[in-house]
Amino acid sequence: ELKVEQNPLFLSMQEGKNYTIYCNYSTTSDRLYWYRQDPGKSLESLFVLLSNGAVKQEGRLMASLDTKARLSTLHITAAVHDLSATYFCAVARSTGTASKLTFGTGTRLQVTL
Amino acid sequence: DAGITQSPRYKITETGRQVTLMCHQTWSHSYMFWYRQDLGHGLRLIYYSAAADITDKGEVPDGYVVSRSKTENFPLTLESATRSQTSVYFCASSASSYEQYFGPGTRLTVT
């Protein structure tokens, strides 16, 4: 059974600071996703990581994937208040007919002034 | 406007009642999914479908029924609602075994 663990579950950080969210998973996977969710809203796709060593950056967010360690990180650089949201990683497993996602429990990020 | 929609957005029902949540997408995506989101669990897959008339169970299928007679629709039915099914339900669709696009969600309360 695939298990996905995120930490921390809650992160309060000051504007301008850097921090990293970690996503560990238990079995081999062919792709990993990062999503953002604002309160009461749907999920917004941030990154899709397809291979070992993959690194993607968008603004102040950078995601990386180490398939050997079964670890993905989401690094936040110089946080701003607009980044306050809940961030989920999700690991994909292809089952022949579809790609099933297993989600982490999410990291609630609060950026304070 | 094209995309993926869910209805109703909010629903309150009583224990034991049958309730159906609707999901509609205009992209003609082959794959569709139903998830539930609960605090402390992230999102968990209930059922998914690879095409019309092809469905399969996900991680937490008990108490739910799905059908997919048309590519664009994927309704989720709670046959006899229980309080433990109080949750936020998200539908998603995908063109391939790649990126999934999520609907706005349905907040269901079972009293």
**Per-residue tens of pLDDT for chain B, all 111 residues:** 569 999 999 999 999 999 999 999 999 999 999 999 998 788 999 999 999 999 999 999 999 999 999 999 999 999 999 999 999 999 999 987 678 999 999 999 999
Taking an 8 Å cut-off on Cβ atoms, the answer to whether B59 and A92 are in contact is no
Distances (CA, A) of A85 to A29, A31, B14, B22, B43: 26, 23, 32, 27, 16
Strand, coil or helix: what is B77?
strand
CB distance A59 to A82 below 8 Å:
no
Q: Which amino acid is at B59?
A: E
- Determine the distance in angstroms separating the CA of A88 from the nearest CA of chain B, rounded to an integer: 8
Model pLDDT for residues A32-76, shown as the tens digit of each residue = 999 999 999 999 999 999 888 889 999 999 999 999 999 999 999
Taking an 8 Å cut-off on Cβ atoms, the answer to whether A92 and B97 are in contact is yes
**Any chain B CB within 8 A of the CB of A104?**
yes
